[in-house]
A and B are shown apart, each in its own frame.
Chain A
Amino acid sequence: MTVTTGSTDGVEKVDLVTVTIDGIQVSVPKDTLVIRAAEQVGVQIPRFCDHPLLAPVGACRQCLVDVPDAGNGRGFPKPQASCTLPVAEGMVVHTQATSPVADKAQQGIMEFLLINHPLDCPVCDKGGECPLQNQAMSNGRGETRFEGVKRTFPKPINISPQVLLDRERCIVCQRCTRFASEIAGDPFIELVERGAQQQIGIAENAPFLSYFSGNVIQICPVGALTSAEYRFRSRPFDLVSSPSIAEHDSCGSAIRVDHRRGKVMRRLSGNDPEVNEEWITDKDRFAFHYANQPDRLTYPQVRDEDGSLRPASWPEAFAVAARGLRAAGSSAVLTGGRLTAEDAYAYSKFARVALGTNDIDFRSRPLSAEEASFLASEVVLRTPSQGAVSFSDLESAKTVVLVGLEPEDEAGAIFLRLRKAVTAGTTRVVSIAPYATRGLTKLAGELVRTAPGEEAAAIAALDVDADTVLLVGERLATSPGALSAAAESGARLAWVPRRAGDRGAVETGCLPNLLPGGRPVSDAAARVDAATTWGVDSLPDSAGRDADQIVAALVAGELGGLVIGGVDPDDTSDPAATRAAIEAASFVVALELRETDVTRAADVVFPVAPVTDKAGMFVTWEGRPRTFDAVFSNPNSLPDLRILAGIAEELDLSLGFRTVAEARAQMEEMGPWDGARAAHSPVPTSSTTGDGLAVSTWKLLVDNGSMQDGDKAYLATGRAPVARLSRSAYDAVGPTVTLTGDRGSVTLPAEPADLADGVVWVPANSFGRGVLADLASPGSRVTVKGANQ
C-alpha cells in the first residue's frame, strides 16, 4: 500500500505496513520501529537507550514487548526489544498494556536497573524530570527485593570543565557516547571497563571538549551528567519553561529557557526537525549569563555639563537625544548583529524618516560594497518557502560547498546537519578554505586549499550543478570578487552570516542600499512605495554610506551625529578608527545592554532589553523567520524599537509603533518588494601580494565575545588560541611565534597545519582585543618570528 505525504520539495511515496498493537490496527511507514508505531496508538513503551535521532542499540532492554506474530504467522518465543524491531505486515504486538509477559519483563529490567542505583533523587538535578524516576513509578514494582551491596564509585568526576559525570547514577544506556560519536563526531567519551564496572570515561588528559557537549546532559535519561554551572542550582519543578530562539548564530535554533523568579537558570535545546532537530551548541546552551553581568545598564543616562554621565528619566533622555541629534546636523546609524528583525526595522525606519539618511549599516565587521550589492541582489527576500536553500536541503544536496564558512565555529546547526547528511552517505562536503579544520575532517570533507583572496578563482573553478549548494560565509566580503563569483557560479546559493540579527537586518534595510522588504534605495518606485506605507513625502534618494564610510565621515567631520546600537568597536574593520569616530562625533546616542567603550563615550545612553525581556524575530541564514515571545515581562526593560520611537516622538515624528507587535504589524503591512531587485554589480578579483604572510582568521565558537561572559566552566571548554602555519613555515619558526602586523604584535603557540605557504591562521577573538584591534587590518600581511629568532 502506498500513500503520498506532502513534503516541501514535492511528493514522496511511502510504503505503509499495517500492524496490530494491543489490539489496535495502525499503518505506519515501512521500517518504523515498533516502539514508535506503538506511540501512534497511544502506547508509551518505557525506554532508556532509545533515542529517535540515534542509531538503535537495544542495550537497556527496558522496552521489551511480546510479539505473538511476527507477521509470518509465527511469534517470537521471547520478548523483543521494541526499539530495535522494525514493523512487518501483519505483525501483532502486545505491550505492557495487554501482555503480562511484557509487563513482567519490563518490571524485571526496571528492578535490575534500580539495584545499583543510588536512589538519591531528592538531591539529584534530574529529580522531577527523570525518565528513570518516572518510569520506575509507572512501570516498576513498588519495593525492591535487592538487599545486597550496591556498586559505588567515588563521587562525580569532571569529564570536561563543564560536564560532570556521576557514575553511580549512570545506567550505561550509551546515549551520551552515541551522541558524541554519531552526531557530534567527537568520541572523547567512551564506554570503558566492562560488565558491572562498565562506565563512561575519557582518556587521561583528554576531556570531552566538544562544542556540542551539553546535549549529552539533556539526553541522559538519568542524572548522571550535569553541568558545572547548573548543578544543584534548582529543581525542575521550581522552574518555568519558555520556548525561545537562540541568539548566538544565524541558525535560529529552537531552545527552551528555564527560569525561576525572573532569572534564567538554564537553557535546553528545543525540538525543531526543520531547523536544529534536538541539538544546540554549547554557546546556545550555556552563554546566557552575559545579560546579568554587573555592568548591565538599567537606566538611561545623559552627559552632564561636567562631562560625566548621569542617570536620567526616560522622557528626559528621549528629549536630550532628540535635541542633540537635531543639533548635530547630518547623522548616521550603526547597528550590530544582535538585533531582532523588529528592532532592526526600527533603526532602518528611524534613519530614513527621523534622520533623513541612508547612512545606516548593520555590518559592524569587515565589509565591502560588493557585499552590499550581493546582499541586495542575491540574498534579501529569499526564503525556503520560495525555494531558497534550507537545512533539509543540506541533507538532500549531492554536494555542499563551503566558502569562507567554518560551520562548526560559525553555524553549529549547519555543521550537525551536514554531518548527518555525510554520515548517511547522501552528501559530500567541499570546503574552500585555508586548511582542513577538525570540523571539515569530521565532515569527511574535501579541502580546496586557498590563500585569502584566492576564493573567487576557486569558486570559478568548481564543477557545480543544480544539486550543488554553495554556502558562503560573511567573511567573503573581504575577498574581492568572491561573492561575485558565487553569484555567477550556477550553484544554489545561500549566505550564512555569523550573527542572529544579520539576516533580519538585511531584510529590514539596515544597509545603505536597501530599504525594508528588499526595496532598493536606487529604485524610485521602491522609495515611493516605502514612503507611502510610512506616510512620508519622500525618502532620501542617494545611496548611503556604509559602516566604514560612516566612520570615515565622522572622523572627517562630514557627519555630526551617530545613533549606535550593539556595536563592539573591536569587531569593526578598523577598531581604532571606529573609536576615533565615536570620539569625533558631535553627538552620540548609544543603545546598549551593558556598559561598553561606546556607552562610556556617548552623550545619551539607553539601556535596552535583552532577548529574554522582549518578543521578537530572528531570521535564519535560510531566510526563515523565527519568532519568539518574551520570557520575562519587565516593564523597565525596553526594546530598541521603543526607544527609537521615543526619540522620534521628541523629534515630532511618529514611527507608527511603540511595541514589538505594532512594529511587526507594520512590517507585514509593508511586505516584501515585488518590483525588480537590484542587479549585482560584479567585482573582479584582485590579488594582494606583499611581504609576509596573509592572515586568515575567523571567530571560534567559544571565544572572548562579550555575549559569552559569565560562565567560567563554559569558557574553559574553548580551544586555546594557536597560530597555524604551513609545515615548512612551522619547522622554520618552532612552537612559539610572534606575529607582527600593521596594528600590533602578538605571541602565540604555533601548530603546523596543511596551510598554503604564505598564510597564517589565527583565531579572530581569542586573544587580547582580537586580530583587528591588536594585529592587522583586513587583507594586510604579517611577519612571523620564532620565539628564539
Chain B
Amino acid sequence: MPDTLTPVLTDNWGDDRAWTLASYAARGGYSALDKAFAMDPDAIIAAVKDSGLRGRGGAGFPTGMKWGFIPQDNPKPKYLVVNADESEPGTCKDIPLMMASPHTLVEGVIISSYAIRANKAFIYIRGEVLHVIRRVQNAVREAYDAGHLGKNIHGSGYDLDVVVHAGAGAYICGEETALLEGLEGRRGQPRLRPPFPAVAGLYASPTVINNVESIASVPSIIGNGASWFSSMGTEKSKGYGIFSLSGHVKKPGQYEAPLGITLRTLIDLAGGMREGHELKFWTPGGSSTPILTAEHLDVPLDFEGVGAAGSMLGTRALQIFDDTTCVVRAVLRWTEFYKHESCGKCTPCREGTWWLVQTLAALEKGQGSEADLDLLLDQCDNILGRSFCALADGAVSPISSSIQYFRDEYVAHLTHGGCPFDHTASTLFAAEGANA
C-alpha cells in the first residue's frame, strides 16, 4: 500500500511563473510531444492502454480503450473535448492544475488529439473560474506562438486547433453528453445513448471526451513510458492521481499519490484532524459518492477498494467532516444542490429532488416521524437507476448512505425537535481548532 506522495502533475506548481510556457519548457515541457510525433497514433493509443490510465473524471473508464473506440474509418472529422467543468462538490483538482500549469494540459491535448486523429480540440471550462480561463487562454496562445499548435506542428505535418470555451454555470455540463450540448450552444441536457460520443458526439462526429487530469497525465505516460505509469498504483487502478483533501483536517489541499493510498495516510500527511476532533464522515470522490466513516480509514483509495466499501472512488474529492458536523444538515445541503442542478429533463430527478429536499428539510427541523426515513429511502429507491443520467444517482448517494450510517442522528433531530448541533462549532473560525 503506497504511503508516499508522487508529485507528477503537481510537481511544477511551486515553480516561478509555472503557468508560462518559458517555465514549463525550462523543465522539459513539450518534449513528450516530439516523442509522440515520432510514434504512430495507434502506438500512442496502445501506450495509453498499456499504462492502465483510467479516466480521472469520476467513472474510471480506461482511457486508451475509449480512444480505441473512435472509428477511424468514419470520414467525419474527429474531435477531442476536454472536460474542465469541475463542479462536483468537493472536487478541486483540475482548477488548480489549469491555474498553475495549463501547458501540461495543452501538451496532453496535442498528444491525445494526434492519437485519435483529431484536428480540432475544445477545452470546456466551467465559467465560474475566471483566472483559470485566463491562464488556459494564455497558454493556448503561447502554444500557437511557439508552433505547438496550428499548422504542421513541429514539422510533423499534423495540424491542430484548440478552442477554449467557457461554460455558464451548470453542474450537469460535467456529464459528457450534456457538455456536448453546451458546446453546441444548447441547453445542457444529457443526450440519449447510444449513439455514444465515440461514434456520434460533437456535431454527430466521433468524439473523445476526457477529464483534465486524464489528458494532463498523457504527456507523462508518453514521456516516461507506459510501464513507468503502471508501476504506480494497484493492480487494476494504475498510476498516480491528485487527492483533494478539504474540510476538517489541519492542512487541506492537494496531495498527489499513487492510487490505493488510504485516507488514514492522507490525513496523517495533512497533519491530522482539527485539534480536539475526530473524523465523523467523508466523501471519497465528491458528494455523489456514498459517504464513508472512520471505519473506512484503511480502505485503499482505488476504484476496487472504494467500490468494495460500498462507495466509489469518483474524483478523489475527500471532503472530511469531524464530529461537530451535523450529517443531516450536510446531506440536506447536498440535496438542495442536486435539486438546483437537476437539468429538468427526466421525472425522477426533477420531481424527486423537489420532494427529497422537502422531506429532508422537515426532518432537519425535527418535524415528521421516523417513518419518513423509510419514505426517504423509498423515494431514493424510485430515483436510483430510474433516471436519465447519473446526476440523480449521485443525488441519492448521500441520503441513503447517511441513513445507513447515521440513522440515529436523524432520529435525534426528531426527538430533539430540531438540530442538536451547534453549527458555529464546525466553522473554520470557531474559537478553537482554527488552522492558520
Complex-state Cα separation, A77 to B375, whole angstroms = 23
Q: Per a CB cutoff under 8 Å, which of A78, A109, A111, A197 touches B344?
A: A197
Complex-state Cα separation, A59 to B344, whole angstroms = 9
B220, CB-defined interface residue at 8 Å: no
A172, CB-defined interface residue at 8 Å: yes
Q: Per a CB cutoff under 8 Å, which of A60, A77, A78, A116 touches B354?
A: A116
Whether A194 and B342, one on each chain, are in contact in the complex, defined by CB atoms closer than 8 angstroms, is yes
Task: Point out the residues of chain B lying under 8 angstroms from A191, CB to CB.
Answer: 187, 189, 344
Per-position 1/0 for B361-390, Cβ under 8 A of A:
010000000000001000001110111100
Contact A171-B344, Cβ < 8 Å, known A84-B192, A109-B382, A148-B355:
no
Contact A59-B351, Cβ < 8 Å, known A148-B358, A197-B344:
no
Q: Per a CB cutoff under 8 Å, which of B187, B354, B375, B381 touches A194?
A: B187
Interface class of chain A by DSSP: loop
**Total contacting residues, chain A, CB less than 8 A:** 35
Contact A108-B348, Cβ < 8 Å, known A78-B386, A195-B342:
yes
Contact A112-B382, Cβ < 8 Å, known A148-B359, A171-B347:
yes
Q: Which residue of B lies closest to A191 (CB)?
A: B187
Whether B382 and A59, one on each chain, are in contact in the complex, defined by CB atoms closer than 8 angstroms, is no
Q: Per a CB cutoff under 8 Å, which of B170, B189, B351 touches A113?
A: B351
B346, CB-defined interface residue at 8 Å: yes
| Other A-B pairs beyond A195-B340, A196-B351, 9, CB < 8 Å | A79-B385, A104-B382, A105-B382, A108-B383, A108-B386, A109-B347, A116-B354, A151-B354, A194-B187
Interface class of chain B by DSSP: helix
Complex-state Cα separation, A59 to B192, whole angstroms = 9
Complex-state Cα separation, A197 to B387, whole angstroms = 18
Whether A195 and B348, one on each chain, are in contact in the complex, defined by CB atoms closer than 8 angstroms, is no
Whether A62 and B347, one on each chain, are in contact in the complex, defined by CB atoms closer than 8 angstroms, is yes
Per-position 1/0 for A558-599, Cβ under 8 A of B:
000000000000000000000000000000000000000000
A153, CB-defined interface residue at 8 Å: no
Complex-state Cα separation, A646 to B309, whole angstroms = 92
Whether A196 and B354, one on each chain, are in contact in the complex, defined by CB atoms closer than 8 angstroms, is yes
Whether B385 and A78, one on each chain, are in contact in the complex, defined by CB atoms closer than 8 angstroms, is yes
Whether B347 and A149, one on each chain, are in contact in the complex, defined by CB atoms closer than 8 angstroms, is no
B328, CB-defined interface residue at 8 Å: no
Whether B348 and A115, one on each chain, are in contact in the complex, defined by CB atoms closer than 8 angstroms, is no
Whether B388 and A108, one on each chain, are in contact in the complex, defined by CB atoms closer than 8 angstroms, is no
Whether B192 and A112, one on each chain, are in contact in the complex, defined by CB atoms closer than 8 angstroms, is no
Q: Write the residues of chain B forming the contact surface with A, with a CB cutoff of 8 angstroms.
A: 170, 187, 189, 192, 339-348, 350-355, 358-359, 362, 375, 381-383, 385-388
Q: Per a CB cutoff under 8 Å, which of A57, A149, A196 touches B353?
A: A196
Per-position 1/0 for A170-182, Cβ under 8 A of B:
0110000000000
A145, CB-defined interface residue at 8 Å: yes
Complex-state Cα separation, A191 to B382, whole angstroms = 25
**Closest chain B CB from A283 CB (angstroms):** 32
How many pairs of A and B residues are in contact by the CB < 8 Å rule? 94
Q: Per a CB cutoff under 8 Å, which of B342, B375, B381, B382 touches A196?
A: B342
Whether B348 and A61, one on each chain, are in contact in the complex, defined by CB atoms closer than 8 angstroms, is yes
Q: Per a CB cutoff under 8 Å, which of A112, A172, A194 touches B355?
A: A112
A56, CB-defined interface residue at 8 Å: yes
Task: Point out the residues of chain A lying under 8 angstroms from B386, CB to CB.
Answer: 61, 64, 78-79, 105, 108-109
Q: Per a CB cutoff under 8 Å, which of B344, B348, B387, B388 touches A198?
A: B344
Complex-state Cα separation, A115 to B353, whole angstroms = 11
**Closest chain A CB from B320 CB (angstroms):** 29
**Closest chain B CB from A180 CB (angstroms):** 15
Name 24 interchain pairs, CB-CB below 8 A, sorted by A: A57-B192, A59-B346, A61-B346, A61-B386, A61-B387, A64-B386, A104-B381, A105-B386, A108-B382, A109-B348, A112-B355, A112-B382, A115-B351, A148-B355, A148-B362, A172-B344, A191-B344, A194-B187, A194-B342, A194-B343, A195-B342, A196-B344, A196-B350, A198-B344
A691, CB-defined interface residue at 8 Å: no
Q: Which residue of B lies closest to A171 (CB)?
A: B347
Q: Which residue of A lies closest to B362 (CB)?
A: A148
Task: Point out the residues of chain B lying under 8 angstroms from A195, CB to CB.
Answer: 339-344, 350, 353
Task: Point out the residues of chain B lying under 8 angstroms from A61, CB to CB.
Answer: 346-348, 386-388
Complex-state Cα separation, A84 to B354, whole angstroms = 26
Complex-state Cα separation, A334 to B324, whole angstroms = 93
Contact A59-B348, Cβ < 8 Å, known A64-B386, A194-B187:
no
Q: Which 6 A-B pairs have the closest CB atoms?
A: A108-B382, A198-B344, A78-B385, A148-B358, A112-B351, A195-B342
Per-position 1/0 for A154-191, Cβ under 8 A of B:
00000000000000000110000000000000000001
Task: Point out the residues of chain B lying under 8 angstroms from A115, CB to CB.
Answer: 351, 354-355
Complex-state Cα separation, A113 to B352, whole angstroms = 9
Task: Point out the residues of chain A lying under 8 angstroms from B381, CB to CB.
Answer: 104, 108
Per-position 1/0 for A76-103, Cβ under 8 A of B:
0111000010000000000000000000
Per-position 1/0 for A45-72, Cβ under 8 A of B:
0000000000011111110100000000
Contact A112-B341, Cβ < 8 Å, known A60-B346, A77-B385, A191-B187:
no
Q: Write the residues of chain A forming the contact surface with B, with a CB cutoff of 8 angstroms.
A: 56-62, 64, 77-79, 84, 104-105, 108-109, 111-113, 115-116, 145-146, 148-149, 151, 171-172, 191, 193-198
Contact A112-B344, Cβ < 8 Å, known A78-B386, A196-B353:
no
**Closest chain A CB from B392 CB (angstroms):** 10
Task: Point out the residues of chain B lying under 8 angstroms from A172, CB to CB.
Answer: 344, 350
Complex-state Cα separation, A89 to B90, whole angstroms = 44
Q: Which residue of B lies closest to A150 (CB)?
A: B354
Complex-state Cα separation, A191 to B343, whole angstroms = 11
**Closest chain A CB from B192 CB (angstroms):** 6
Among A57, A62, A194, find the residue whose CB has the most chain B CB atoms closer than 10 A: A194
Contact A111-B350, Cβ < 8 Å, known A61-B388, A191-B187:
no
Task: Point out the residues of chain B lying under 8 angstroms from A149, CB to CB.
Answer: 358
Complex-state Cα separation, A108 to B352, whole angstroms = 10
**Closest chain B CB from A321 CB (angstroms):** 65
Task: Point out the residues of chain A lying under 8 angstroms from B347, CB to CB.
Answer: 59-62, 109, 112-113, 171
Complex-state Cα separation, A344 to B369, whole angstroms = 76
**Closest chain B CB from A314 CB (angstroms):** 61
Q: Per a CB cutoff under 8 Å, which of A56, A112, A148, A193 touches B352?
A: A112
Q: Which residue of A lies closest to B338 (CB)?
A: A195
Complex-state Cα separation, A111 to B347, whole angstroms = 10
Q: Which residue of B lies closest to A81 (CB)?
A: B388
Task: Point out the residues of chain A lying under 8 angstroms from B354, CB to CB.
Answer: 115-116, 151, 196
Contact A116-B351, Cβ < 8 Å, known A195-B341, A195-B344, A196-B344:
yes
Task: Point out the residues of chain B lying under 8 angstroms from A77, CB to CB.
Answer: 385
Task: Point out the residues of chain A lying under 8 angstroms from B387, CB to CB.
Answer: 61
Complex-state Cα separation, A60 to B346, whole angstroms = 5
Task: Point out the residues of chain B lying under 8 angstroms from A194, CB to CB.
Answer: 170, 187, 342-344
Complex-state Cα separation, A191 to B346, whole angstroms = 13
Task: Point out the residues of chain A lying under 8 angstroms from B192, CB to CB.
Answer: 56-58, 84
Whether A146 and B345, one on each chain, are in contact in the complex, defined by CB atoms closer than 8 angstroms, is no
Among A59, A61, A105, find the residue whose CB has the most chain B CB atoms closer than 10 A: A61
Among A59, A149, A151, find the residue whose CB has the most chain B CB atoms closer than 10 A: A59
Q: Which residue of B lies closest to A145 (CB)?
A: B375
Q: Which residue of B lies closest to A173 (CB)?
A: B347
Q: Which residue of B lies closest to A114 (CB)?
A: B351
Complex-state Cα separation, A781 to B343, whole angstroms = 57
Among B170, B351, B355, find the residue whose CB has the most chain A CB atoms closer than 10 A: B351
Q: Which residue of B lies closest to A76 (CB)?
A: B385
Q: Which residue of B lies closest to A194 (CB)?
A: B344
**Closest chain A CB from B359 CB (angstroms):** 7
Complex-state Cα separation, A60 to B347, whole angstroms = 5
Task: Point out the residues of chain A lying under 8 angstroms from B350, CB to CB.
Answer: 112, 172, 195-196, 198
Complex-state Cα separation, A149 to B342, whole angstroms = 18
Task: Point out the residues of chain B lying under 8 angstroms from A151, CB to CB.
Answer: 354
Q: Which residue of A lies closest to B385 (CB)?
A: A78
Complex-state Cα separation, A399 to B426, whole angstroms = 71
Task: Point out the residues of chain A lying under 8 angstroms from B352, CB to CB.
Answer: 112
Task: Point out the residues of chain B lying under 8 angstroms from A78, CB to CB.
Answer: 385-386
